[in-house]
A and B are shown apart, each in its own frame.
With several copies, the nearest count.
Chain A
Amino acid sequence: MPEAEGDGLAELYQELILDHYRRPRNQGSLEAHTSRVALANPTCGDELELDLLLEGGTIRDVRFSGHGCSISQASASMMTQLIKGKTLDEARRLAARFSEMMRGSADAAHDRALGEARALAGVARFPVRVKCALLGWSALEESTRDHP
């Protein structure tokens, strides 16, 4: 991972993030879904809809749609990659880990479990943008709130 340097912008807008922004993975919607949650960030108008297909405590499939800044879109895209096929418990652990990274934890930022999402570690230096990076994860949390 590139270390933060200078104004941190090069890290914030590194190629991997822009790639996810421009070619989001798992974009779209799931006709067969067990949950659909729409969230908005009223501050900047970002909107996101997350479809999950849960089977026996496992996330069988996931899609998202919406629009927003590069951070919110890339973060949601990376999240879908991470959680697909995972159990709810595993997904929740990842969400907690990602939150820690957003609060600046270096430990979390080096946790391989976060996969490509580690590219977002630099967002922690931009407090207003943390909400952007969390938008998809918040939708996940809301989608799974009523599950054991």
Chain B
Amino acid sequence: MRDPRADFPILGEPVHGRRLVYLDSAATTQKPRQVIEAVADYYRRLNANVHRGAYDLAVRATEAYEDARAAVAAFVGAPDPRGVVFVRGTTEALNLAASSLGRLKVRAGDGIVVTAMEHHSNLIPWQLLAQERAARLEMVELTPQGELDVDGYRRALERRPKIVAFTHVSNVLGTINPVAELARLAHEAGAVVVVDGAQAVPHLAVNVAELGADLYAFSGHKMLGPMGVGVLVGTPELLDAMPPYHGGGEMIRTVQDTTATYAPIPHKFEAGTPNVAGAVGLKAAIAYLGALGMAEVAAHERALTGYARERLAAIEGLRLYGPEERAGVVSFTLADIHPHDLATIVDSEGVAIRAGHHCAQPLMRRLDVPATARASFYVYNTREDVDALAGALEKARALFGYARA
């Protein structure tokens, strides 16, 4: 993969007088100037509201917006751009899914299956739905290695749940779930499959059609795109059948005083003025990733993650979580130093890592830790970044009174 660092202005901004070593891309990624410029350029040249204007600017803004939709569809292998719904991010996508699918499918006593490695965004919407509908929410456990317990998953399917929701890639352990297999099993059991792709689309070549997910969610801001734009991809048949989510402008066909009929997909799910600039920026991010090559991106991360696991494992008292085979996320704890203290200490060396429960409290309980420290990698990270992290962790050990190994 070509070295893209020069494209990221923020990497030139010193932190505490040091070079920024940004290792928190699982939370949000930095943006290349190509994306920053695409957004600015949209506002400078073709900003207008979409879908409603008979004038030139509105036509061009609408084209830009629909081009972005087509680019997203192509990037994730969605056969039909009508299956691409723009939302704010993964969280909104999953709430939309839970709310609309819930009304379509879930009655009292019905089952909904999630896993113990879900981000809160793929858990709380199902909790709320289960509470509202008096449905049964079941959580599939993990193996000691931090992989999904597929036997437990099969058992959960025997009760024929209406909906199965799981993450493609764990944001804590890096575990990559066998989505195609899990989806096939769920379909055999008659369930609709909802996949949280927030940590997958940025890092792996994803093809939703091959995976067989009925609904698939991800965020633009985690894949070099702007904040405030994300995607729910669905099969047109399912989206067609689902009742609308938000009511408002753009999503209607005709409106009477107390009733309305709705527009075809995807517009049925896009009430109100969308984030057109965000979609345009996401398209630029997709073009950027496409030029790097998703296979190369994945290989780069794999190499870096392997190196990081090696370097970190050599630190005395450091414990790594999660399976060997994984995406570019490394969670760890170090002796009795609380992850929050670790984050503060490595920050003083310019190294940005995350500490906490990573919005995955059920998983934390299973790991039997209140929190972990997490380093996550992306296209702009290097082996030097890993070295900087390792060095900063040694400093933490020293501050907490541990002798150098």
Alpha-carbon distance between A22 and B53 when the two chains are bound, in angstroms: 24
Check B54–A44 contact: CB distance below 8 A: yes
**B340 at interface (Cβ–Cβ under 8 A)?**
yes
User: Which residues of B from 352 to 405 have beta carbons under 8 Å from A?
Assistant: 355-357, 361, 364, 370-371, 399-401
Binds B, one of A9-17, A53-61, A107-115: A9-17
Contact A127-B340, Cβ < 8 Å, known A40-B253, A42-B252: no
Residue of A nearest to B267 (CB): A42
Which one, A8, A22, A45, A70, contacts B357 given CB within 8 A? A45
On chain A, the residues within 8 Å of B370 by CB distance are 45-47, 67-68
Alpha-carbon distance between A27 and B322 when the two chains are bound, in angstroms: 32
Residue of B nearest to A70 (CB): B341
**B160 at interface (Cβ–Cβ under 8 A)?**
no
**A132 at interface (Cβ–Cβ under 8 A)?**
yes
**A1 at interface (Cβ–Cβ under 8 A)?**
no
**A129 at interface (Cβ–Cβ under 8 A)?**
yes
How near does chain A come to B3, taking the closest CB pair, in angstroms? 30
Residue of A nearest to B356 (CB): A44
**A128 at interface (Cβ–Cβ under 8 A)?**
yes
How near does chain B come to A45, taking the closest CB pair, in angstroms? 4
On chain A, the residues within 8 Å of B348 by CB distance are 7-9
On chain B, the residues within 8 Å of A67 by CB distance are 370
**B256 at interface (Cβ–Cβ under 8 A)?**
no
Alpha-carbon distance between A71 and B344 when the two chains are bound, in angstroms: 11
- A residues neighboring B (CB under 8 Å): 7-10, 12-13, 15, 18, 22, 40, 42-47, 67-71, 126-129, 132
A-B residue pairs in contact (CB < 8 Å), sample of 14: A7-B16, A44-B339, A44-B357, A45-B357, A45-B370, A46-B370, A67-B370, A68-B340, A68-B370, A69-B341, A71-B340, A126-B344, A128-B53, A128-B344
- B residues neighboring A (CB under 8 Å): 16, 51-54, 58-59, 252-254, 263, 336-341, 344-345, 348, 355-357, 361, 364, 370-371, 399-401
Besides the contacts A42-B254, A43-B51, A132-B340, what 6 more A-B pairs have beta carbons closer than 8 Å? A43-B356, A45-B361, A68-B340, A69-B341, A70-B338, A128-B58
